Structure 1
Amino acid sequence: MLKKRWMVGLLAGCLAAGGFSYNAFAKENNENSQPSSKAGALTEQQAESIAKTVVDGNVEDIDRELYNGKDVYEVEIEKAGEDYDVYVDIHTKQALNDPLKEKAEQVAITKEEAEEIALKRTDGTVTESKLDEEDGAYIYEIEIQTKQGTETEFEISAKDGRMIKTEIDD
């Protein structure tokens, strides 16, 4: 009987020690997997301030993402009717891109020139026209309403005026 009590006590002690060890490990592991909860980690407000030094405008959204393999805040900023994404490294607290500079380097034709290219392909009236960035490349999205009532959408390279895509809606 004494041997059974001793074994039960030993087993209970081992279970308790294992539970404490597991709890301590889980807490440490959880702290390591959530850098934003650590002291000194970049906050959304800090990311917003850093991004606004690159593009001064109205912040519309902030999301945590991976950018070129780095943990970042993607800060979407609207300026003069256009949206720009600034990526701020969470660990180094540095902006990783300059979308205004990228745009200046990649946009060689005007919106009006892109509209003329689209109108050469189909006769009608431009109903919508905007510059957009997709996967690091700038394109113009042009919508034309034809006299027959159909709508044709074009994607045109802002760098060289090359037709990328044409889509006709009935």
Structure 2
Amino acid sequence: MLKKRWMIGILAGCLAAGGFSYNAFAKENNEHTQSVSGTGGLTEQEAESIAKTVVDGTVDDIDRDIYNGKEAYEVEIEKDGEDYDVYVDIKTKQALNDPLKEKKEQVVLTKEEAEQIALKQTAGTVTESKLDEDDGAYIYEIEVQTKQGTEAEFDISAKDGRIIKQELDD
């Protein structure tokens, strides 16, 4: 019986300590959010305006994010059928990247060249291919219908033609 009371006491103490920790974290997180979104912070509208000076297109979405260790708004802009992510620093109100310049520097291969690399690995017919950007790296995503009726998928670096991923589906 004494052991049971002792265990209940420890459990109650742990729950209380957890509650205090949670409260402290929630208060700190709330203060941090308020300081960024207060009068000195950047609004979504301002972030949109700044991002459109980098990529002039249609804004699809705006989210808060971390970019290279800095709090930023990620502004997704559609231009000429492609999506570009522009990151705007919340504190300095400056664009942190230029996705058009990044694309120009990184996309060396044409879509046709990337398709030929995939077809050298797996004979068949290209059913889909597109250029995609993920965290600043450009890749071609290519799907090939093989002569055996299966599908092969490739991720190929747009910069150097290296096969990053190859999957064969049954």
Tell me the TM-score normalized by structure 2. 0.78
User: What is aligned with 1:166?
Assistant: 166
Equivalent residues in 2 for 1:19-168, closer than 5 Å? 30=30, 32-168=32-168
Tell me the TM-score normalized by structure 1. 0.78
d(CA) in 2 for partners of 1:42, 1:146: 51
Q: Which residue type is aligned with residue 167 of structure 1? A: E
Indicate if the aligned counterparts of 1:141 and 1:155 stay in contact, CA closer than 8 A.
yes
Q: Deviations over 1:28-70 (max 9, x none)?
A: 9945532354124211111011101101111111110111111
Indicate if the aligned counterparts of 2:124 and 2:146 stay in contact, CA closer than 8 A.
yes
Indicate if the aligned counterparts of 2:50 and 2:95 stay in contact, CA closer than 8 A.
yes
Seq. identity, %: 80
Q: Which residue type is aligned with residue 125 of structure 1? A: T
With over 3 angstroms needed to count, the CA separation of the structure-2 counterparts of 1:27 and 1:121, relative to structure 1, is closer
Q: Between Structure 1 and Structure 2, how many residues are aligned?
A: 145
Indicate if the aligned counterparts of 1:36 and 1:43 stay in contact, CA closer than 8 A.
no
Deviation at residue 169 of structure 1 after TM alignment? 0.8
Structure 1: runs of 5+ lacking an equivalent? 1-25
Secondary structure at 1:34's aligned position in 2? Answer: helix
Greater Rg by CA: 1
Q: Deviations over 1:101-123 (max 9, x none)?
A: 01111111101110111111111
Q: Which residue type is aligned with residue 57 of structure 1? A: G
Q: Which residue type is aligned with residue 129 of structure 1? A: S
Indicate if the aligned counterparts of 2:130 and 2:141 stay in contact, CA closer than 8 A.
yes
Deviation at residue 147 of structure 1 after TM alignment? 2.4
Secondary structure at 2:116's aligned position in 1? Answer: helix
Q: Which residue type is aligned with residue 45 of structure 2? A: Q
With over 3 angstroms needed to count, the CA separation of the structure-2 counterparts of 1:65 and 1:28, relative to structure 1, is closer
RMSD: 2.0
**Poorly superposed stretches of 4+, deviation over 3 Å:** 26-33
